[in-house]
Amino acid sequence: MENEEKNEEKKDTAPQAEPGPIAKSDLVEGTEAKPETAAAEAAPIQPVAKAEEPALVRAAYEHPLPIRITHWVSAISLFVLVTSGLRIFRAFPSFGPKIPEKVLLDIPKSLTLGGWLGGALQWHFTFMWFFAASGVVYVAYQVISGHYRTMLFTPRDIAGVWPMARHYFLFGPKPPATGQYNPLQKLAYTSTVAFGALALLTGIVLYKPVQFSWLAFLFGGFHLTRVWHFVAMCGFLAFIPGHLIMVLLHGWANFYSMLSGWKREPEYQE
Amino acid sequence: MITRLEDKDLKRQSRRQLLKLAPVAALGVFAFPKVSDRLVAAGVRFSDWASGGLFRSQHPAATFSNSEVVPFEKFPYNGYDVLDPEVDLEKWTLTVEGDVQHSGEYKLAQIQAMPKVSQNTRHVCVEGWDVVGSFGGARISDFLTLVGANMGARFLEVECADDYYESIDMASVLHPQSLLCYEMYGQPLDRGHGAPLRLQMPTKLGYKQAKYLETIRVTNVLKPGRAGYWEDQGYSWFGGL
């Protein structure tokens, strides 16, 4: 037992730990130190182990697999849904009644997907399922795992929003990092969940206004629902450029963490 | 939760976790037009299947008071080709075919002799606009009863004087608000709106509601490549609201 305790100590105090010879001799004799057999075997071969003790890296497993999968499926889905959605909007680029119809926005065809209304609807009706599925899995995972605590914007984050915004946009002093995400990030990420929910619910109404007439009523009717659906898209379009710029500014390790889950040398403690 | 680990372990763990993300790359097949054309068509078929499951055969579409109806002049004329295929209204008959006991030609007067339903309902276009209009006609279900149709058949196919064609799932056809419509705003259908007879179904998108009806057919098997004029080009077949 003594041996094990010493081993624990060694791990905890690395990389500059100096139990060197004592720990090693103990290890070799110890019968219960199986987890460390590799180290024990290595010891006699490399007597100068102390000098070659590998440096340890601080890292955090920030993004569990379900979060990473849903992040990328949502990202791809959003790209398809926005570009095909703009093509659908071109067919009736207005809100409210058919006559008099005012063309509110003439969206260039080059920004759209699907080629024509029917093609765009096919893309939209396919990726709405991917988007809905990834949204449901994402929220369910966040809630069940408790992981949502890292990103959910709560009232006590309100005070931190302005100092962070001042830092980003007005070159103010950088507030100390308190957790995985700062208050402004929490606000942004929580907003995207809200936009996603709004996009899905209004989408259901636009797709099935008769079967979900009660939901249409909650959104203020068919015409207003179309507006809310558009608002949800605008929310994403407001979020995405800022998100991409931040990712660019924060470098490879930050971006790679959304692929591998692991972030090297995070800015925060604990 | 910050941990400390050796650089090579971090790299190995990162690689292993990166590989677990590989299935997402399967969405990349959508970047190839030949594949994606078929995949998004399959996506629409899946959506149609789900739509059929969501459809409630007795749930009514919203109806509106006379004051909420747009004036007749503002109800848009919409056609895929011509707005007047020059139907000879005097000689016109509706041909009834397929899985029915009394197939043959039916006069407009026979349809008008059935109980008349008048309803102010929303006409929704696939483009995104809608108008609330006033419609009158006979329930399709009443007419199918009259001609002795097999109500257990799966589809109703229709063909039109302007060469438009459609097919509709029987559950939607038998909905109490689905009409063989011969009136708008209390007046006989005018030529632009599909005289003398059109489908009017507030549970369906506008393109399902064929105008200038000439033939209806009760069937279990759709004619290949004849699901509907727009559907054959990519629109959703179910087209339900």
Q: Collapsing DSSP states into helix, strand and coil, what is residue A56?
A: strand
Split at pLDDT 50, 70, 90, the class of A237 is very high
- Is the Cβ pair A213, B126 closer than 8 Å? no
Give me B143's structure tokens.
């007419």
| Mean pLDDT (chain A, rounded) | 81
What is the pLDDT averaged over residues A219-238?
A: 93
Cα–Cα distance measured from residue B5 to residue A58, given in angstroms and rounded to the nearest whole number: 7
For residue A69, the chain B residues in CB contact (below 8 A) are 21, 23-24
* Rounded Cα gap, residues B72 and B19, in angstroms: 62
Q: What is the mean pLDDT of residues A52-63?
A: 83
Across B99-190, where does the E strand assignment appear? 104-106, 116-124, 130-139, 155-160, 165-169, 179-184, 187-188
Higher pLDDT, A37 or A228: A228
Give the C-alpha separation, B54 to B49, whole Å: 9
CA separation, residue A252 to residues A130, A167, A200, A263, B6 (Å): 28, 22, 32, 10, 19
Question: Looking at the partner chain, which of A76, A123, A262 has a beta carbon nearest the beta carbon of B13?
Answer: A262
Does the complex come out with an ipTM higher than 0.85?
yes
Which residues, including other chains, have CB under 8 Å from residue A194's CB and lie 6 or more apart? A235
Residue type, B32: F
pLDDT at B191: 87
Q: Which neighbouring-strand residues pair with B216?
A: B96, B158
- Same domain assignment for residues A185 and A106: yes
C-alpha angle A34-A37-A39 in degrees, rounded to nearest 5: 140
Per-residue pLDDT of chain B (241 residues; tens, 9 = 90+): 788 988 889 999 999 999 999 999 999 889 898 999 999 999 999 999 999 999 999 999 999 999 999 999 888 888 776 677 888 888 999 999 999 999 999 999 999 999 999 999 999 999 988 999 999 999 999 999 999 999 999 999 999 998 899 999 999 999 999 999 999 999 999 988 988 999 999 999 999 999 999 999 999 999 888 999 999 999 999 999 9
At residue A31, the pLDDT reads 42
Q: How far is CA A130 from the centre of its chain?
A: 17
Full-model pTM? 0.84
Do A91 and B70 count as a contact with CB atoms less than 8 A apart?
Answer: no
> For residue A47, what are the domain limits?
2-52
Distance of residue A90 Cα from the nearest chain B Cα, in angstroms: 9
CB distance A98–B131 less than 8 Å?
yes
Residue A270 domain flag: no
pLDDT at A182: 85
- Spell out which residues of chain B touch residue A262, defining contact as CB-CB under 8 Å: 10, 13-14, 17
What phi and psi, each to the nearest 5 degrees, are found at residue B211?
-105, 175
Assigned domain for A125 exists? yes
| Residue A194 is assigned to a structural domain of this protein | yes
| Domain assignment of residue A127, yes or no | yes
* Residue A106 shares a structural domain with residue A32: no
Q: Which of B5, B19, B36, B40 would you mutate first to test chain A, the one with the most A CBs within 10 A?
A: B40
- Asked if residues B108 and B137 have their Cβ atoms less than 8 Å apart, the reply is no
Length of chain A measured in residues: 270
Does A37 or B131 have the greater pLDDT score? B131
A98 and A211 co-located in one domain: yes
Q: Is the dihedral of CA A132, A137, A143, A149 positive or negative?
A: negative
Q: What is the pLDDT of residue A171?
A: 82
Residues A212 and A242 occupy one common structural domain:
yes
pLDDT band at A43 (very low <50, low <70, confident <90, very high): very low
What number of other Cβ atoms are within 10 A of residue B43's Cβ?
A: 22
- With cut-offs at 50, 70 and 90, classify the pLDDT of residue A55: confident
My answer on whether A155 and A210 are in the same domain is yes
Right CATH number for B55-233 from 3.90.190.20, 3.30.365.10, 3.90.420.10, 3.30.70.20? 3.90.420.10
Structurally, chain A folds into a number of domains equal to 2
CATH number of A134's domain: 1.20.950.20
Q: A163 and A202 share a domain?
A: yes
How many angstroms separate the CA atoms of B63 and B228, rounded?
Answer: 27
Interface of A with B in 223-262 (CB under 8 A): 223, 226, 256, 259-262
Termini Cα distance of chain B: 49
Residue A124 sits in the same domain as residue A212: yes
What are the tens digits of pLDDT across the range A171-182?
888 888 777 888
A69 and A138 inside one domain: yes
Residues written for chain B: 241
Question: Do residue A66 and residue A36 come from a single domain?
Answer: no
Q: Which of B3, B6, B240 sits opposite A54 (nearest CB)?
A: B6
For residues A141 and A189, state if they share a domain: yes
Tokens of A47: 């007597």
Indicate if A134 and A243 belong to the same structural domain.
yes
Q: Based on the domain organization, do A132 and A194 belong to the same domain? A: yes
